[in-house]
Structure 1
């Protein structure tokens, strides 16, 4: 048995780990199975984290349903948990630390990093967390191995004692949303339309509102608007009953929204988003992560001078800001656990993925929690 000093100076014995663990293993298109696999071994500079909570992200679902990635893999990257092993050379972290994990961290030196386009960095594109097989996040498992460059370069973030694991698991998605809001460069006198009020749409809208801008939220379901209202979003548009383009103009003195954020996957609403923006406005695509063709109005870009832009993944440049928003927010009215509609034990991960893949009015953020009772 190994004895290690914790960050608070108390001795903590390293727990005896099982040789095997349970994990939700992707075996092919629409084929995920809960299996027993070896518990990951770690090397120098690495840590092993016992997973407490992992959110299901839309990108996880895309990979599962499209077969864009080879099998077998273990997905899940919105991960929080407790360090149970540290490899030789690890500094600043010890057994017992509560942490959340970024699965991508850039090199900070290449051309893309110098241009602050971190998600395009070749090192960033490598995944630095695995529960086994090809590194793919690994959060849908009991334990996840965090590789050396993630640990060394700031991808492992300590969770304050008073912040629950569920709140901390939102650090990565909040970073991605905050990056998008920074890209829009909103001003207090502007009107923003956020199309889609799932958990990501609500995060985007709530962060946009922090700039002082007027934020309109659009969704088909009143239940989702009710959740959004708990975050101070009080300009709901009923997409099931009203024309969103006309409503955006009505709420902006006839001009159209200064900025429109499309937080719904697929391409069907891109033209709607463009039409809802004023001349000279900005349209940000957030959830369009599959390559393909889409219909846009080129004259809206040229003659109407509308700007079409995108935002993808997290930014290391705002990592501290995003983490602070999540950690301090739990105490100051930004409780993100209210977005969680379903919590599933790992043994029911297939059911969790099914619920997340078929959203309803009452489903929001879906979490897998290995320690939850079956």
Structure 2
């Protein structure tokens, strides 16, 4: 048995810190001592409305070290640094049998915390007991801080890969929070000719500039004029929507050229109203992107290790587990300027 401390949401805007004993790993399970767990918008949604996300999703951006393994575990050993992941395509679900391994039902359920073996809590804890499929050995070249942002880096790697962005493309990234800035870096690494970032927050625009982006604008006429000027009036080849603001979807689509792609990363919590006829008549390709596959974590770690993605400017704070409730309250109220905060449950 391992004594551990866990943070979980017990009611809207209520975080309970409790001590609990975790059993030793059973067959196919591993016990991970959490080093860092990132806080993201999904955690804030879970804090405000816990009924909408599974328990294991509250604190899903974790990394740590394997401290104990169960019988038949073969991919990691005690002492290995690992990141939260999903397993490879299972080969047995309906999607896999139909030849759609990239859409494996088993891995998709793991990514969304609804698989039968999902743990009872997420990585806002000192330790986490998970199936072997949920961990992936970290690249040795990565620092602990870099490992703390592998999960959102995989989310954005997945989205840019799905968009099939062409070399030299004119790209717009809407939103310069952590997801937007990671997406922008992947888009640049994928060979974009121009990356235009739009963001209302001056501090986030400054972070975009610190990451080497020169085409950075606040929303408004100057931004729209720049997109049209750059493209001779056509509109962007690809627009990555990273805010999840439902009211922006139609306006975003109108910035995309005829035959271009609108890639959706931000997750709206309300319904959206769009012009179906406009999207159809301009032959837009609309690409939904949610979560990731096992291989996306490999690509994400390589991008971080090789320098194509710089996570440093995104990490604006490291806090203890006891400080998490106040941070979530501040995020929910919009009273913090933090970008990406990492929780260090073990200090």
Same fold (TM over 0.5): yes
Counterpart contact for 1:53–1:169, Cα < 8 Å: yes
Q: Aligned pairs, how many?
A: 342
Which residue of the partner structure matches residue 60 of structure 1? 43
1:73-88 to 2 correspondences below 5 Å: 75-88=58-71
1:96-135 to 2 correspondences below 5 Å: 96-102=79-85, 106-113=89-96, 114-118=99-103, 121-122=105-106, 124-126=108-110, 135=119
Counterpart contact for 1:245–1:272, Cα < 8 Å: no
Which residue of the partner structure matches residue 172 of structure 1? 151
Q: Greater CA deviation, 339-348 or 314-323?
A: 314-323
Deviation track 1:188-243 (CA, whole Å, cap 9, x = no partner) reads 2321111000011000011101122111000012221221123221110122x545
Instruction: Give the one of 247, 256, 260 matched to 2:226.
Output: 247
Q: Greater CA deviation, 313-322 or 338-347?
A: 313-322
1:209 aligns with 2:188: yes
Q: List alignment gaps of at least 5 residues for structure 1.
A: 1-16
Counterpart contact for 2:9–2:46, Cα < 8 Å: no
Q: Output the aligned Cα RMSD.
A: 2.7
Name the TM-score, length of structure 1 as normaliser: 0.83
1:345 aligns with 2:320: yes
Which one has the bigger helix percentage? Answer: 2
Give how far 1:258 is off: 1.1
1:365 aligns with 2:345: no
Q: Which has the higher contact order (CA 8 A, sep 6+)?
A: 2
Give how far 1:129 is off: 8.3
Distance in structure 2 (CA, Å) of the matches to 1:252 and 1:62: 37
Which residue of the partner structure matches residue 267 of structure 1? 246
Q: Check 1:342–1:70 CA distance in 2 against 1; reply closer, same or farther (3 A cut).
A: closer
Q: Check 1:209–1:294 CA distance in 2 against 1; reply closer, same or farther (3 A cut).
A: same
1:235 aligns with 2:218: no
Q: List alignment gaps of at least 5 residues for structure 2.
A: none
Give how far 1:48 is off: 0.6
Distance in structure 2 (CA, Å) of the matches to 1:166 and 1:215: 26
Give how far 1:359 is off: 4.6
Partner of 2:260, secondary structure, is strand
Which residue of the partner structure matches residue 128 of structure 2? 144
1:224 aligns with 2:224: no
Deviation track 1:27-69 (CA, whole Å, cap 9, x = no partner) reads 1222212122223432112111110100012222223322334
Give how far 1:74 is off: 7.4
